[in-house]
Amino acid sequence: MKNKYVFLFDEGNQQMKTILGGKGANLAEMTRAGLPVPEGFTVSTDACKAYYEFERQLTADILQQMKEALHQLEMRSGKKLGDQSNPLLVSVRSGSVYSMPGMMDTVLNLGLNDETVEGLAQLTNDKRFAYDCYRRFLQMFGDVVLGIPHYLYDNALLEIKREAGVTSDPELTFEHWMRVITAYKNITIKETGEGFPQNPFDQLELAVKAVFDSWNNQRAKVYRKAHQIPEHLGTAVNIQLMVFGNMGNDSGTGVAFTRNPSTGENTLYGEYLINAQGEDVVAGIRTPEPIERLQEQMPEVYHQFQNICQQLENHYLDMQDIEFTVEKGTLYILQTRNGKRTAKAAVKIAVDMVQEGLITRDEAIMRIDPNSLDQILHRGLDQNAHMNIIAKGLPASPGAATGKVVFDANLAQRLAHQGESVILVRPETTPDDIHGIIASAGILTSRGGMTSHAAVVARGMGKSCICGCEEIKIDLQAKQFKVHSYTIHEGDIITIDGGTGRVILGEAALVDPEFTDEFKTLLLWAEDIKEIHVRANADNPQDAKISRGFGAEGIGLCRTEHMFMDSTRIPIVQEMILAESTPERLKALERLLPIQQNDFYGIFKEMQDLPVTIRLLDPPLHEFLPSVEDLLVKVTLLRERKENPSDLLQLEELLRKVQTLHEFNPMLGHRGCRLGIIYPEIYSMQVEAILRAVIQLKREGIQCFPEIMIPLVGHVKELSIMKRVVHQTAQRLMEEEKEHVEYTVGTMIEVPRAALTADEIALEADFFSFGTNDLTQTTFGYSRDDAEGKFLSYYVDSQILDHNPFEILDQSGVGKLVKMGAELGRKTKPNLKLGICGEHGGEKSSIRFCYETGLDYVSCSPYRIPIARLAAAQAVLQSGRAKTETSQL
């Protein structure tokens, strides 16, 4: 059988997304449901693949099937492509499997040429309208299909406006449009060496090819990369009968969401323009009217539209983003898709829809991308702080952002790569700015509405964005904008609040986010479903408190070295390191002891009743000392001055010590339990501090569950020696204090040998915690700092690696060691407690892996805890081991 490449809208349905693309599948589905969709057909993604296989040619099969479909369209509409008296006009619209807003351009009014434009004029009895359509088509086709820079058209139009002495398009007469058209045609000849293609089928063929080509344009590639959309999917092309929103004041075009995409509130939300065509609304050239006003202007159309919105939402069981056009009082639906939304809206809509009986709890849980919760968890503006508000625009995407003003996407990207926070300020954004948008902390535009390019893209990325801020007057040449009496130059700092639309001069105070009832409800549902525990990586009482607030079920990793780094303690720590003898070292440790005890006291108190895993000192000692270079400079200076011989002596001594501690490979050097083996008194002091804090709290009536963790064990003997140190210290202390305390001793599994010999190590361990950061470094043999700075991004770009393994657990390599470690460990000790404490503990795919591997808990940074809780629930649902009762409402 021949491949089917072309499908009429009534031959397809919602399930055929991979073949028809999202837009095509939904147009087909709506056609089936009897909605007023202009007729058309879809050239499939298979045709796109065939196009690339045949050296970017449409095969005879594809062309033949297009002709047949076109013939059907002609029969049904009574119009004919290229017919002088009754021309068929179509739009050519790209549509890939995943919606890629603004990525691939649409051509409207295709089929117009010097003859059919006359037919259109006669049919509509409106010459001006017909020639307006024609000039739009010449420009769109020239820009999108022929690749002619659009500013050439803009300049030509401006020139004619200037000659005519007018400023806006509606003031131009039919004669003016004729001149614009001549100018546009000349541009085509000049730029391509050929006249504008007059044959409508040639136009169609060129347009379809251009859509296929656009799958591989730069901005499409960037978008796909940013959203992890596979390269091989290809795009489909939709060819659809034109309807006209620009036929007078009883016509118009607009976009609406069935619920508010910023807040999730269940009210129709959108914008429209009277007497306008297609892209006018989204392009942000004219600022549109809010949809409510349509109720006054066209009550019947509004009513009908409301019903259709309801119908579509009930059908797709999700919030819809709908494009519509009204032609002389008749409503047409041109597109529907699941609407993009902020995380806050996503949570509210999902929870509301459960309460409305539309979806189940499980579905609600599965609908929220855990990563998107970052948006909710991020900080906003402190409303009480003093702020110098200099302008207000549309609140297009919530969240606050502070950064340097930048007027150009390339510069934004460059500065961001240097670690600067930037706010991209543009009159409007286009898909060409996408890399700048990705790099910026926030976006501010002076034109365009809530559905403009900048708004849609920023919401999708969870970035702060203000649109249509018309008060600010941007001068791109001078690299500045003016608002009232202020002039803001490139590089000046502003703050934007995308939730309210306020633009603030300078930096503004930020506050912790507030959690909506819906968010709490969702997390409670997740709690019911999830099986793996979620703990926090927290090193101090504040983080412990935040973690508890987010629902942490314990601390999975408390790093003690951060306590050492504190500026008041570092001199004592250095004394301890520089000590020449054990008694000397003990003296310094004695001074550190009460300080550490106090740290642990604070943490245990916050976490009362919950387990706290404390890792004993891990980093190489020289990290606490000044660098060789600094010391060399100082020593040299002192030698030259010859003033303070005793200071010089001291410094030289320090330098010598630092030099002896120098390591060629600190990551693989004298660190972790290797320190504890050589200097057991350090670990002993830490254990004493931990247990003294526990005793202190016990006497206050608070129970603690300390888990003492030995880092970097690679051989069971390392652990047994360290465990003896812990027990001896504990024994001595309990006798001294006449108190009994419970504690456990375990180890991190973070070097391959530990995973390989986990059965032996488990003999000495009460628990394992997989330290997947170091385990990734040691398994790959990458030092993270070197890898990420040098070759890792190349590895990911060129698909040597699917992901950065420090962000997403490498399941087939590092994960295999985790699995092996878990299995071998439990073979020795069936009730061995297992957890993971690398950064992967807060990443959804890694969490699923941990759950499926049978770990007891994951541990992640405080702000990722809600993300981890949701991901943990999703892991259960995805693994199909969901308890059946949870799927009932």
* By the rule CB under 6 A, 38 interacts with ligand ADP: yes
106 binds, among ligand ADP, Mg ion, none (CB under 5 to 8 A by kind): ligand ADP
Q: Which stretch binds ligand ADP (CB under 6 A): 9-17, 238-246, 714-722, 780-788?
A: 238-246
Active-site hit among 837, 840, 850, 860 = 837
* By the rule CB under 6 A, 777 interacts with ligand ADP: no
The pair of structure tokens assigned to 370 is 């855990």
The SS3 call for residue 569 is coil
279 binds, among ligand ADP, Mg ion, none (CB under 5 to 8 A by kind): ligand ADP
Percent helix, percent strand, percent coil in the chain, to nearest 5: 50, 15, 35
Q: What are phi and psi of 587, to 5 degrees?
A: -65, -45
> What DSSP assignment string belongs to 124-135?
HT-HHHHHHHHH
* By the rule CB under 6 A, 325 interacts with ligand ADP: yes
Q: Which stretch binds ligand ADP (CB under 6 A): 239-247, 496-504, 505-513, 794-802?
A: 239-247
771 binds, among Mg ion, ligand ADP, none (CB under 5 to 8 A by kind): Mg ion
- For residues 574 and 654, give the distance between their C-alpha atoms in angstroms, rounded to a whole number: 10
521 binds, among Mg ion, ligand ADP, none (CB under 5 to 8 A by kind): none
x-or-dash string of contact with ligand ADP, 562-601, rule CB under 6 A: ----------------------------------------
Residue linked to tokens 């179509």: 90
> Quick one: 99 or 874, whose CB is closer to ligand ADP?
99
Site for ligand ADP in 247-286 (CB under 6 A): 253, 278-279
Active-site hit among 176, 435, 453, 533 = 453
* By the rule CB under 5 A, 501 interacts with Mg ion: no
What one-letter code names the amino acid at 163? Answer: E
- Do 88 and 79 meet the contact criterion of CB atoms below 8 Å apart? yes
The SS3 call for residue 415 is helix
Contacts of 359 (CB under 8 A, 6+ apart): 317, 350, 353, 367
> Quick one: 445 or 729, whose CB is closer to ligand ADP?
445
Cα-Cα-Cα-Cα torsion 278, 284, 285, 289, nearest 10 degrees, comes to 80
Q: Which stretch binds ligand ADP (CB under 6 A): 139-147, 237-245, 376-384, 564-572?
A: 237-245
- For residues 729 and 80, give the distance between their C-alpha atoms in angstroms, rounded to a whole number: 93
- Do 694 and 604 meet the contact criterion of CB atoms below 8 Å apart? yes
> Quick one: 336 or 861, whose CB is closer to ligand ADP?
336
Q: Could you say which DSSP state residue 80 is in? A: B
* By the rule CB under 5 A, 280 interacts with Mg ion: no
How many Å separate Cα 259 from the centre of its chain? 22
> Quick one: 27 or 690, whose CB is closer to ligand ADP?
27
Shortest Å distance, C-beta 321 to ligand ADP? 9
> What DSSP assignment string belongs to 5-19?
-EEEGGG--GGGHHH
278 binds, among Mg ion, ligand ADP, none (CB under 5 to 8 A by kind): ligand ADP
Number of residues in the chain: 889
* By the rule CB under 5 A, 866 interacts with Mg ion: no
> Quick one: 243 or 607, whose CB is closer to ligand ADP?
243
* By the rule CB under 6 A, 207 interacts with ligand ADP: no
Q: Given candidates 79, 80, 93, 367, which one binds ligand ADP under the rule CB under 6 A?
A: 93
The pair of structure tokens assigned to 196 is 């504008």
Interface size with ligand ADP, residues (CB under 6 A): 17
Q: Could you say which DSSP state residue 813 is in? A: T
> In this structure, is the dihedral angle defined by the CA atoms of residues 376, 377, 383 and 385, taken in order, positive or negative?
negative
| Count of Cβ atoms closer than 10 Å to residue 678 Cβ | 10
Q: Which stretch binds ligand ADP (CB under 6 A): 236-244, 374-382, 608-616, 768-776?
A: 236-244
Long-range contacts of 197-200 (CB under 8 A, 24+ apart): 198/113, 198/114, 198/115, 199/82, 199/113, 200/81, 200/82, 200/87, 200/110, 200/111, 200/113, 200/116
Q: Given candidates 323, 433, 553, 843, which one binds ligand ADP under the rule CB under 6 A?
A: 323
Contacts of 293 (CB under 8 A, 6+ apart): none
Shortest Å distance, C-beta 673 to ligand ADP? 58
Alpha-carbon distances, residue 404 vs 424, 444, 858 (angstroms): 8, 12, 37
Shortest Å distance, C-beta 393 to ligand ADP? 23
x-or-dash string of contact with Mg ion, 439-468, rule CB under 5 A: ------------------------------
Whether 837 is a known active-site residue: answer yes
774 binds, among Mg ion, ligand ADP, none (CB under 5 to 8 A by kind): Mg ion
- Do 401 and 408 meet the contact criterion of CB atoms below 8 Å apart? no
Shortest Å distance, C-beta 267 to ligand ADP? 22
* By the rule CB under 6 A, 455 interacts with ligand ADP: no
> Quick one: 91 or 445, whose CB is closer to ligand ADP?
91
> Quick one: 270 or 711, whose CB is closer to ligand ADP?
270
What one-letter code names the amino acid at 209? Answer: K
> Quick one: 460 or 825, whose CB is closer to ligand ADP?
460
Site for Mg ion in 728-767 (CB under 5 A): 750
Which residue has the closest beta carbon to ligand ADP?
278
Q: Which stretch binds ligand ADP (CB under 6 A): 77-85, 101-109, 481-489, 794-802?
A: 101-109
Site for ligand ADP in 328-367 (CB under 6 A): 334-335
Q: What are the E-state strand segments in 572-624?
A: 611-615
Site for Mg ion in 62-121 (CB under 5 A): none
Alpha-carbon distances, residue 389 vs 383, 393, 496 (angstroms): 12, 11, 9
Shortest Å distance, C-beta 380 to Mg ion? 31
> Quick one: 40 or 380, whose CB is closer to ligand ADP?
40
Q: How far apart are the first and last CA of the chain?
A: 47
Instruction: Report the candidate in 368, 267, 347, 274 with the shortest Cα–Cα distance to residue 310.
Output: 267
Q: Could you say which DSSP state residue 287 is in? A: P
Q: Given candidates 106, 214, 263, 495, which one binds ligand ADP under the rule CB under 6 A?
A: 106
Shortest Å distance, C-beta 125 to ligand ADP? 20
x-or-dash string of contact with Mg ion, 307-336, rule CB under 5 A: ----------------x-----------x-
The pair of structure tokens assigned to 699 is 């006497």
The SS3 call for residue 361 is helix
Shortest Å distance, C-beta 825 to Mg ion? 18
> Quick one: 694 or 708, whose CB is closer to Mg ion?
708
443 binds, among Mg ion, ligand ADP, none (CB under 5 to 8 A by kind): none
Alpha-carbon distances, residue 749 vs 131, 621, 669, 683, 857 (angstroms): 73, 21, 17, 18, 15
750 binds, among ligand ADP, Mg ion, none (CB under 5 to 8 A by kind): Mg ion
x-or-dash string of contact with Mg ion, 766-805, rule CB under 5 A: -----x--x-------------------------------
> Quick one: 264 or 431, whose CB is closer to ligand ADP?
431
Per-position b or e across 565-597, b if 16+ CB within 10 A of its CB:
eeeebeebbbbbbbbeeeeebeebbeebbeebb
| Count of Cβ atoms closer than 10 Å to residue 319 Cβ | 27
* By the rule CB under 6 A, 240 interacts with ligand ADP: yes
By the criterion CB under 6 A, which residues form the site for ligand ADP?
38, 91, 93, 102, 106, 108, 240-243, 253, 278-279, 323, 325, 334-335
Residues serving a catalytic function are 453, 837
What residue ranges bind Mg ion (CB under 5 A)? 323, 335, 750, 771, 774
